[in-house]
Structure 1
Amino acid sequence: MEPGEIPDTNSGRQQKKDYHRKRKSFSSPTRLNKRLKEESVESVEDNFATKENQKLEFLKEEIEEFFDQQNALNEEAEIEKRRKERMEILKKHKQDNNEVEAVSDVQKIKSLNDDNGYDLLPSKEPIVPQVDDEDSDEDGDDMFSENFKIEENVKITADGREKTTLVENYDDHEGYYKTIMGEMMDERYLITSHLGRGVFSSVIKATDTKTKQNVAIKVLRNNETMYKAGLKELKFLKSLMEKDPTKTKFVVSFLGHFEHRNHLCLVFEHLSMNLREVLKTFGRNNGLHLNAVKVYAHQLFLALSLLKKCDIIHADIKPDNMLVNEQKNILKLADFGSAGNLVEVEITPYVVSRFYRAPEIILGLPYNYAIDVWSVGCTLYELYTGRILFTGSNNNQMLKQIMQTKGKFPLKMLKKGMYAHHHFDESDNFTFLSQEYDKIMQQEVTKRIKFYKPVCDIKGNLSQLDVFHDEKNRLLLFQFIDFLEKCLNLNPEKRISPEEALIHPFITM
């Protein structure tokens, strides 16, 4: 500004108006939808990702306080359980002593022992449970144990003689790698424990001797099919990491890969536990605090937005495949062993774990990213209530439970479904054919059922759990119900998208 020049107050007012206009755009879903159309989705998502840390800090104390309280309750329950066990032992011990004192003749006691084969006196030796080697997860894991075998490989030489060589048996009969505690993998990863196994692989915990950090190593089974599946997963992981260099999209961090004794090994950051374990520990039959569910929902849909950018469908979202940190306030999507590209979709009725399987999969319709949204909706319901939403014993009973909660399917879906005729009678206006087991007749029977409206909808189920006494938290619950309804829309074309989910009032409030 030149000396003596009068400042332009109009420009200041205009800047202030622009500021408030932009601020309002984040408070109104209608304006946000318009903004998403005008601007790139990526810029809006990045804005939310930046604000995520602020939201986490804001809710961190409340979430940590919830988990601390649950820890205290669990400890008290464990102490009470042990106290009752001690009382039972003392009571039984006292009864045994009374029985012994009632027998005055020592020779009579000896006679009873000899004749009946048991001792009236309580044993002072600890009872050691018998372990079946075949059922043990650690069978053959220790190279110094008796179960670790060295196989003989016999070859016939040119002169007809047998030549025997020793081959180390590092795999079990199913091709899983036998974890050896203290073994060094890839000259840097020191194995410390066995975390578990799935259909495709086993997972071990190790210490990275270069960074001094704990890592989780996914060891694929030793066969050609699993190796190819591992290479496919590796491709997806690299794509996700390239699209998320700042690691703000809440997908588990992929650190590298290597091969070890004919096994493909994928290295990830190590996280505390999965959501299934969180529910068992902190929310059995009761669920988690709604604020914790809200934070997890926000993070999950940021992860889904990243997958959509990479044209990846996870196809196995469930609490077991979501990992949390030690403080339980950061969640990351994991396990891309079942993932696929949108262009590679093959219609099959058995994609995704059954309880989290979208109806379009069961009906045999072409599917897309919407199947992951359905799985997240089922998971969020389970997190809040502590109960699985749909528990059908097969695909047919899954459809029955879905219609009991969401009502009948649109005729358009049933007419286009490749497998719809397995579950509906097309000649009778698509009456549902419920395949059930009759306990009286002791055989499978087919019952014809017509669905018109939900028998027990999500709103009714969750309204019964309304424990909030203040208006703000009650409003949050109603927004959560609306959020779930949009995630679990029967029509995948009308189901909420990751971009729309990130601007829903349940997330933004």
Structure 2
Amino acid sequence: MSSEIDIFGDDSSIDIPITKEQHQFNEAIESITDKDGYFLGRNGEVVNGYQLEKKVGQGTFGTVYLAKKITTIKEEVALKIIRKNERMVKLSQKEAQLVKEIMSLKGIYIVQLISEFMYKDHYCIVLEKMDMSLRELLSHKPNEEGIDIFHIQRYGKQLFEALHVLHTKCEIYHCDIKPDNILINLHSDIIKLADFGTALHPYELTIDSELGSRYYRPPEVMIGYPFDGSFDNWSSGVTLYELFTHSFLFTGESNNDMLYQIIQLKGSFPHKMIREGKLSSSHFTQDFKFIHYETDVFGKEFARRISYSQQPIRIASKLIHSLKENNEHLSVVYTFAQLLEKLLVIDPTKRFNSIQALNHLFFTQSKE
């Protein structure tokens, strides 16, 4: 029998009953756990009142199944079954707790957690079903086209409304905003933030140059400079650029290479950040010159000191260049570029926060 953990305060000892026929069916298609601790379910198996329909994904933490609640409603859900791994279970339980905090404060643009329970020694989380990630949506675009500017407006506004709740009401930093972690309901055209596995409260912040996904990682994290919710705002700017252009803004193979590309786009780092960054000495000289580690034709690494004085590249020119043909909404695209310039500021203290982003003309102007 599986024990229910009711996240909304009901009796946690109550099991969802299954019929004799369902029990016999479960025994006939007995699931197993593999050597790495992953749950190997069988289509049709009933897991605490949810019937598995198909496996839809597997990652470091566990396996996700599309499942259907055995009621007259037949509600479809995403059932995340965590690996038998103590660390993964603890992190997943922490993630569930964070999501419950956000839900209690009306975080509507967050993938909603329905319940959590134990099944065959596996920790399970039931989440509302979404259709796909924005990464998948982008992959379906023909000829590598990006998402149109008015959908960028819609999704961007919802994203910053989610971040406003996270940062100001919950004091939680997501720390891994990217197209993969933003899910969409195609029918309602609503996006929701998912995957809070790396999310942190302010009191949990430490120096960790590998926090988040590298392409979306803000510069302050890479040099060990203090960070806060501005981490998510940088990542959101990078994400929105990618969704519109269908191309990565930064593709560094290391933190050092990422910093090199950021400097090429945005210009030199403020000296204050370099002085106070705990890891700056790995990337900058004492006289603030950037050290770029490169590889020669023989595969040998060498360091090249670079002093930047040229003007930063205007993001507007990159956006216009990405358009496949003349666009009748160029004025909106230029306004979008202005927003990105405010989000992609190297100094996190001067970067737009979620409220400033929501109040920007790009989101407040009426649709043409």
- When normalised by structure 2's length, the TM-score is 0.87
State how far apart, in whole Å, the 1-side matches of 2:27 and 2:294 are.
Answer: 50
Identity %: 37
Q: In the alignment, which residue of structure 2 is the partner of 1:461?
A: 318
| Change in 2 beyond 3 A, CA 1:298/1:497 | same
Is residue 452 of structure 1 aligned with residue 313 of structure 2? no
Is residue 233 of structure 1 aligned with residue 95 of structure 2? yes
Of residues 229, 244, 264 in structure 2, which corresponds to 1:384?
A: 244
Q: In the alignment, which residue of structure 2 is the partner of 1:5?
A: none
Q: In the alignment, which residue of structure 1 is the partner of 2:33?
A: 171
State how far apart, in whole Å, the 2-side matches of 1:293 and 1:443 are.
Answer: 43
State how far apart, in whole Å, the 2-side matches of 1:311 and 1:196 are.
Answer: 30
State how far apart, in whole Å, the 2-side matches of 1:284 and 1:353 are.
Answer: 26
Q: CA offset at residue 256 of structure 1?
A: 1.0
Q: In the alignment, which residue of structure 2 is the partner of 1:411?
A: 271
User: Residue 204 of structure 1 aligns to which amino acid in structure 2?
Assistant: Y
Q: CA offset at residue 314 of structure 1?
A: 0.7
Q: In the alignment, which residue of structure 2 is the partner of 1:313?
A: 173
What are the within-5 Å matches in structure 2 for residues 402-441 of structure 1? 402-426=262-286, 429-439=287-297, 441=298
Cα-Cα RMSD = 1.9
Q: CA offset at residue 393 of structure 1?
A: 0.4
Q: 8 Å contact 2:31–2:39 — kept in the other structure?
A: no
Q: CA offset at residue 169 of structure 1?
A: 7.6
Q: CA offset at residue 469 of structure 1?
A: 5.4
State how far apart, in whole Å, the 1-side matches of 2:203 and 2:112 are.
Answer: 25
Q: 8 Å contact 2:291–2:303 — kept in the other structure?
A: yes
| Change in 2 beyond 3 A, CA 1:458/1:450 | same
State how far apart, in whole Å, the 2-side matches of 1:455 and 1:342 are.
Answer: 32
What are the within-5 Å matches in structure 2 for residues 241-256 of structure 1? 241-244=103-106, 249-256=108-115
Q: 8 Å contact 1:284–1:386 — kept in the other structure?
A: no
Q: CA offset at residue 170 of structure 1?
A: 2.1
Is residue 295 of structure 1 aligned with residue 154 of structure 2? yes
Q: 8 Å contact 1:433–1:446 — kept in the other structure?
A: yes
User: Residue 304 of structure 2 aligns to which amino acid in structure 1?
Assistant: K
Is residue 189 of structure 1 aligned with residue 50 of structure 2? yes
Q: In the alignment, which residue of structure 1 is the partner of 2:197?
A: 337
Q: In the alignment, which residue of structure 2 is the partner of 1:353?
A: 213
Q: In the alignment, which residue of structure 2 is the partner of 1:493?
A: 349
Is residue 219 of structure 1 aligned with residue 77 of structure 2? no
Q: CA offset at residue 442 of structure 1?
A: 2.4
Spell out, residue by residue over 1:216-240, the C-alpha distance to the aligned partner (whole angstroms, 9 max, x if none). Answer: 0111211111111112111101111
Spell out, residue by residue over 1:118-147, the C-alpha distance to the aligned partner (whole angstroms, 9 max, x if none). Answer: xxxxxxxxxxxxxxxxxxxxxxxx9989xx
Is residue 482 of structure 1 aligned with residue 338 of structure 2? yes
Of residues 272, 291, 310 in structure 1, which corresponds to 2:131?
A: 272
Q: In the alignment, which residue of structure 2 is the partner of 1:503?
A: 359
State how far apart, in whole Å, the 2-side matches of 1:370 and 1:180 are.
Answer: 43
User: Residue 390 of structure 1 aligns to which amino acid in structure 2?
Assistant: F
Q: CA offset at residue 446 of structure 1?
A: 1.2
Q: 1:324 aligns to what SS in structure 2?
A: strand
Q: 1:313 aligns to what SS in structure 2?
A: coil
Spell out, residue by residue over 1:36-87, the C-alpha distance to the aligned partner (whole angstroms, 9 max, x if none). Answer: xxxxxxxxxxxxxxxxxxxxxxxxxxxxxxxxxxxxxxxxxxxxxxxxxxxx
Q: 2:176 aligns to what SS in structure 1?
A: coil
Q: CA offset at residue 430 of structure 1?
A: 1.5
Q: 2:244 aligns to what SS in structure 1?
A: helix
State how far apart, in whole Å, the 2-side matches of 1:487 and 1:271 are.
Answer: 28
Q: In the alignment, which residue of structure 2 is the partner of 1:90?
A: none
Q: 1:361 aligns to what SS in structure 2?
A: helix
State how far apart, in whole Å, the 2-side matches of 1:343 and 1:251 are.
Answer: 22
Determine which structure has more spread, i.e. the larger CA radius of gyration: 1
Q: 1:205 aligns to what SS in structure 2?
A: strand
User: Residue 219 of structure 2 aligns to which amino acid in structure 1?
Assistant: P
| Change in 2 beyond 3 A, CA 1:452/1:328 | farther
Q: 8 Å contact 1:404–1:457 — kept in the other structure?
A: no
Q: In the alignment, which residue of structure 2 is the partner of 1:107?
A: none
- When normalised by structure 1's length, the TM-score is 0.64
State how far apart, in whole Å, the 2-side matches of 1:223 and 1:376 are.
Answer: 31
User: Residue 218 of structure 1 aligns to which amino acid in structure 2?
Assistant: K
Give unmatched runs, 5+ long, in structure 1.
Answer: 1-141, 146-167
Q: In the alignment, which residue of structure 1 is the partner of 2:227?
A: 367
State how far apart, in whole Å, the 2-side matches of 1:327 and 1:289 are.
Answer: 17
Q: In the alignment, which residue of structure 2 is the partner of 1:155?
A: none
Is residue 443 of structure 1 aligned with residue 300 of structure 2? yes
Q: CA offset at residue 313 of structure 1?
A: 0.8
Q: 8 Å contact 1:433–1:448 — kept in the other structure?
A: yes
User: Residue 359 of structure 1 aligns to which amino acid in structure 2?
Assistant: P
Spell out, residue by residue over 1:360-415, the C-alpha distance to the aligned partner (whole angstroms, 9 max, x if none). Answer: 11010121111011111010000000001100001000000011111111000010
Of residues 376, 384, 394 in structure 1, which corresponds to 2:254?
A: 394
Q: CA offset at residue 458 of structure 1?
A: 1.4
Q: Whose relative contact order is higher, 1 or 2, with alpha carbons under 8 Å and at least 6 apart?
A: 2
User: Residue 481 of structure 1 aligns to which amino acid in structure 2?
Assistant: A
Alignment length, in residue pairs? 337
Q: 8 Å contact 1:241–1:253 — kept in the other structure?
A: yes
